């Protein structure tokens, strides 16, 4: 913030240019007129004030942008939470389900070494992967007995509906593909697209394990919750058929105590 005026006996253009490049306000060569100095000082003072005002304005603007950014993010997360609540209001069995799936998926992603951006995206996908169930008939969603072929075909549409609903508020491909493919199986017998092995996006393979574990260990209209050990064994048994072996390995390495703390959006 100090304004520098170089006064020198060297009358050399290249030195003058060098001084101005280094930030000098002006360059005077001897002999110079003393009466010019007050005017020079006044100009330097004005320029300094202008610079200070500029930097204050810049700082103010940056703070305003940050506040707006925070508000937009809060609104965005609020709208996602509203969607989760819509599904929970429709289907009591999904209360807490998506939160736990999100939390499990996040932990698996950590073990697999995914970066924090991808982990956060997976958290969003985990919370919203089943939102498409709002488009599934209540009598099918709450049916206590086994589903007929037609009913099962209807329920198989939910990942596509989830993807469609989310595509209005989310453009991120990682999130959308994780949601769309969370019921695919490594052996190609899943849905909606029957993808095989590495055709299935990593996010979807992680969600599949988290989703299956959570579903097995919670109560459903047609069966009681399975104990954690049996659910873990079932996941292990299905690796390479239903689940990706690497994802299963990562999941099984997580201590059970770490599995349940719920991670908010």
What are the tokens at 67?
């506040």
Among 130, 163, 184, 244, binds Fe ion (CB under 5 A): 130
Determine the interface stretch with Fe ion among 108-116, 124-132, 213-221, 257-265 (rule: CB under 5 A): 124-132
- Nearest-approach distance from CB 97 to Fe ion, in angstroms: 9
- Nearest-approach distance from CB 183 to Fe ion, in angstroms: 6
Distance CA 208, CA 226 (A): 17
Cα torsion 97, 100, 103, 104: sign: negative
- Nearest-approach distance from CB 182 to Fe ion, in angstroms: 6
- Nearest-approach distance from CB 72 to Fe ion, in angstroms: 29
User: Dihedral of the CA atoms 215, 221, 225, 230 (nearest 10)?
Assistant: -70
Distance CA 243, CA 250 (A): 12
Paired with 223 in beta bridges are 220
- Nearest-approach distance from CB 262 to Fe ion, in angstroms: 18
The residue with its CB nearest to Fe ion is 130
Determine the interface stretch with Fe ion among 9-17, 96-104, 127-135, 198-206 (rule: CB under 5 A): 127-135
Q: Is 184 in the site for Fe ion (CB under 5 A)?
A: no
The nearer residue to Fe ion, 107 or 130, going by C-beta atoms, is: 130
Cβ atoms 99, 261 nearer than 8 A: no
The nearer residue to Fe ion, 98 or 109, going by C-beta atoms, is: 98
Determine the interface stretch with Fe ion among 17-25, 78-86, 122-130, 197-205 (rule: CB under 5 A): 122-130
DSSP state letters, 18-71: HHHHTT-SEEEESS--TTHHHHHHHHHHHHHHHHHHHHHHHHHHHHHHHHHHHH
The nearer residue to Fe ion, 16 or 202, going by C-beta atoms, is: 202
The nearer residue to Fe ion, 16 or 162, going by C-beta atoms, is: 162
What are the tokens at 85?
């609540």
What are the tokens at 11?
């009358």
The nearer residue to Fe ion, 130 or 184, going by C-beta atoms, is: 130
Cβ atoms 28, 73 nearer than 8 A: no
The nearer residue to Fe ion, 130 or 163, going by C-beta atoms, is: 130
Positions that interact with Fe ion (CB under 5 A): 130
């Amino acid at each position: 913030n100090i304004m520098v005026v170089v006064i020198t006996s060297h009358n050399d253009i290249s030195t003058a240019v060098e001084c101005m490049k280094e930030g000098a306000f002006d360059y005077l060569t001897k002999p110079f007129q003393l009466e010019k100095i007050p005017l020079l000082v006044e100009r330097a003072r004005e320029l300094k004030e202008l610079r200070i005002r500029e930097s204050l304005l810049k700082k103010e603007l940056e703070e305003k942008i940050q506040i707006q950014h925070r508000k937009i993010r809060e609104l965005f997360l609020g709208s996602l939470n509203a969607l989760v609540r819509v599904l929970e209001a429709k289907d009591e069995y999904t209360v807490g389900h998506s939160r736990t799936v999100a939390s499990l998926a996040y932990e698996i992603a950590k073990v697999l070494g995914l970066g924090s951006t991808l982990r956060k995206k997976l958290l969003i996908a985990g919370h919203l992967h089943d939102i498409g169930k709002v488009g599934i008939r209540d009598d099918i969603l709450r049916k206590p007995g086994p589903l007929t072929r037609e009913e099962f075909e209807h329920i198989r549409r939910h990942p596509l509906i989830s993807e469609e609903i989310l595509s209005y508020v989310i453009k991120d491909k990682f999130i959308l593909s994780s949601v769309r493919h969370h019921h695919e199986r490594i052996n190609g017998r899943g849905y909606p697209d029957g993808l095989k092995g590495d055709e299935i996006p990593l996010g979807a393979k992680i969600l599949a394990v988290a989703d299956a574990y959570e579903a097995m260990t919670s109560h459903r209209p047609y069966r009681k919750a399975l104990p954690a050990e049996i659910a873990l064994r079932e996941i292990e048994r299905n690796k390479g058929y239903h689940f990706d072996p690497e994802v299963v390995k990562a999941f099984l390495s997580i201590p059970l105590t770490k599995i349940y703390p719920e991670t908010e959006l």
